[in-house]
Structure 1
């Protein structure tokens, strides 16, 4: 308990030092406000956009549009990549069908095939959701596959000895044993999807936090750019924290053996 408090204190001190250094640099005037805005100007921009919005959308609307696209694609990935990844690890025939497809597109930069998705689906949410789905599918699929292949054969043989069939082994042995890897994939996929979403909004969008940052850059509004980047960073940390909390509750035995 004491160790956790010390770590939290160190985190707060680190953040405070960064903010103070930021304030000091802008106060001395080493760089122009266009390059590095002061913390106060970023705060003022945040208050102004909260009150008046930006280009016809409120700040919550921009953030909501981004998170809506992200969560929709994320849920689609969860309900497809996890079952397919587990089944691929459990059945070599299924793996032979799916794995080559995943390995083909996985190394490709998401924006490389985003232009194709835009041609097929337009610049609306459909192309972005499809892009996020593809970006998030591979990390979860591979993590699930790795989790199954690392399961000790003794576990499966022990279940067979007790009379379990293949379906029972899958749900009561394979799935629980692969849960730590599944959550690793969930965290990785969320990060990949979030960065991909921001990049996609910068390429083709009319709303969203990524679009807000890009549009502000056209007018050299570094205060709005910094504000958008900070919001994206905080949002990403909070989303990852939610998954970690869920992991602690679900995989409560992790690290105890």
Structure 2
């Protein structure tokens, strides 16, 4: 007599919602795409209403249409004036992204390597962890002026500031991921004759990759949050310099254009990082 036991996990069974999604996959995708669009429309409507009430002066809360005109003006040559301060918006954005890329590349590379060492060697972690915490607690403006004194007002202090902002999140996330690597898998690899370097390469690094990618995304966010500070001096061309210069003249529409440019480009870069993570770490959330 044979007995059949259903060992299918509960979450693998088709619930009504899952069955409906399988029958009509496009409906779920359209819903996910419509929700962000709806949130943007609600935001624009609330903004329009807030500006139309007249409670705040137009200097503080301009109409969305005013900001759109400012976007068009600094994106083209208008009445003989080329963009803002002689540069088009895409040129400002290009310079900012170039600085962010250089700073993040340096900060993330050093941070990930530092995290691997700190996670693998306990005494190194004990020595360096307080310094990382100290650096992470500092706001960028606290040491930017010191970097300007040391390195001048050209590109060096800007890239250094962004690198210092990106380093701690990458290092801390990688350290935590390496420390949390499965001990059983490491011991099994050693029992099979793997060297320490091979254990790190074949067991620790793949295990740490998901959290490392999270740290990289946080590092990019920290660099973006520091970009206006990085471009306080000699920041034109650059979106941060544009925002700072426009704020000196209470040019709120241009300030908002700069803020939106930084935010939207950050969304695009984060989306690219998530796509890269899905390809590089396809097992995340599945084991």
User: Of 193, 218, 228, which aligns to 2:258?
Assistant: 228
Whole-Å separation in 1 of the counterparts to 2:58 and 2:262:
21
Counterpart residue number, 2:9: none
Question: What does 1:1-257 align with in structure 2 at a 5 Å threshold?
Answer: 1=25, 2-51=27-76, 52-202=82-232, 205-257=235-287
Please report how far the alpha carbon of residue 97 of structure 1 lies from its aligned counterpart in structure 2 after TM superposition: 4.3
| TM-score, normalisation: structure 2 | 0.85
- Report Cα offsets for 1:198-233 as digits up to 9, x if no partner: 122235533311111121122221111111111111
Find the aligned partners of 1:99 and 1:32 in 2 and give their Cα distance: 48
Larger Rg: 2
Higher relative contact order (CA 8 A, sep 6+): 1
Structure 1 stretches lacking a partner, 5+ long: none
TM-score (structure 1 length as normaliser): 0.94
Q: Which has the higher helix share?
A: 1
Could you list the runs of 5+ residues in structure 2 that have no partner in the other structure?
Answer: 1-24, 77-81
User: Alpha carbon RMSD of aligned pairs, Å?
Assistant: 1.6
- Cα contact 2:108–2:219 (8 A) shared by 1: no
Q: In 2, are the aligned partners of 1:201 and 1:207 still within 8 Å (CA)? A: no
